[in-house]
């Protein structure tokens, strides 16, 4: 199975981009992380970068595509942020949301985990087959039947989270994996709330139907996000992973702020 990875991260209408992302391959497994920081005075920017670097370092030591490895990476990031909070009073309130994906193309396996409201969407047949649930007050209202799911993006308390990296309490990440082995044509989208807030699942699916590459898919969705976000838009980041036939032609795009990379069967 061939993987194609494409990423973007922009400040939106904010002076600083507090989002961060990273990806690394080892042991035949590919790991992707997206994080959104909060905390002010540089804390959010620091927290998201620390979360990403800590988790990728964890995967260097444990390059395994399973829930246990992802849980360990998230716990390590949480501990790292808490440790830094105690060294500098200006960083005491910094937090970060994060979503992480591991893919093993040789075994056609994937696993993911998250904390906060950075999301993962898994697509099969160009339709959303699974997605993460936010650790938020509004998500709990939806789950309890007090609010319709399609009203979540516009709810007044949408940004009220009860769990994030950097907390000693409520550290309860959620995990998932595909119901079946991956097949050619499957796709993943990892993104921060500044991205998914302005594009619903059906619009993601329509963009996927028309796209010819992971990068073009992201660019099409970004155009919608920018149009709807307005001048005060939050930072937004997204990372797309496409699974395809290894005989497909390589994508010549390069990694950058918006870029992609084709990853062969065996990742090194």
Residue range 62-105, pLDDT digits in tens: 999 999 999 999 999 999 999 999 998 889 999 999 999 999 99
How confident is residue 248, by pLDDT bands cut at 50, 70 and 90? Answer: low
Question: Residue 251 above 70 pLDDT?
Answer: no
Three-class secondary structure of residue 186 per DSSP: coil
Q: For residue 242, what is the enclosing H or E element?
A: strand 236-244
178, 125 in Cβ contact below 8 A? Answer: no
Domain ranges in the chain are 2-263
How many CB atoms are closer than 10 A to CB 86? 9
Q: What is the mean pLDDT of residues 250-266?
A: 37
Question: In 3D, which of 182, 190, 244 has the Cα closest to residue 213?
Answer: 244
Q: For the segment 148-197, what is each residue's pLDDT rounded down to a tens digit?
A: 887 788 877 777 899 999 998 889 999 999 999 999 999 999 999 999 99
Question: Residue 142 above 50 pLDDT?
Answer: yes
**Domain at 2-263, CATH from 3.30.465.10, 3.60.40.10, 3.20.20.70, 3.30.413.10:** 3.60.40.10
Question: Residue 262 above 80 pLDDT?
Answer: no
Question: Residue 258 above 60 pLDDT?
Answer: no
How many CB atoms are closer than 10 A to CB 261? 18
Greatest CA separation for the chain: 54
């Amino acid at each position: 199975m061939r993987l194609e990875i494409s990423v973007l991260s922009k400040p939106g209408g904010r002076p600083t981009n507090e989002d961060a992302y990273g990806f690394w391959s080892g042991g035949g497994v590919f790991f992707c992380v997206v994080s959104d920081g909060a905390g002010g005075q540089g804390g959010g920017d620091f927290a998201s970068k620390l979360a990403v670097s800590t988790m990728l370092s964890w995967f260097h030591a444990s390059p395994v595509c399973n829930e246990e490895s992802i849980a360990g990476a998230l716990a390590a990031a949480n501990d790292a942020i808490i440790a830094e909070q105690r060294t500098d009073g200006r960083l005491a309130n910094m937090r970060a949301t994060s979503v992480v994906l591991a893919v093993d193309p040789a075994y056609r396996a994937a696993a993911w985990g998250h904390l906060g409201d950075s999301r993962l969407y898994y697509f099969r047949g160009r339709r959303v087959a699974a997605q993460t649930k936010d650790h938020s007050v509004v998500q709990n209202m939806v789950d309890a039947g007090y609010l319709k799911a399609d009203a979540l993006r516009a709810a007044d308390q949408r940004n009220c989270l009860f769990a994030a990296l950097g907390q000693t309490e409520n550290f309860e990440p959620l995990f998932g994996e595909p119901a079946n082995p991956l097949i050619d044509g499957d796709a993943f989208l990892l993104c921060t709330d500044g991205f998914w807030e302005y594009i619903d699942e059906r619009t993601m699916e329509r963009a996927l139907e028309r796209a010819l590459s992971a990068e073009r898919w992201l660019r099409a969705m970004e155009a919608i996000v920018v149009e709807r976000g307005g001048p005060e838009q939050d930072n937004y980041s997204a990372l797309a992973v496409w699974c395809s036939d290894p005989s497909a032609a390589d994508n010549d795009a390069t990694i950058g702020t918006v870029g992609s990379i084709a990853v062969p069967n065996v990742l090194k």
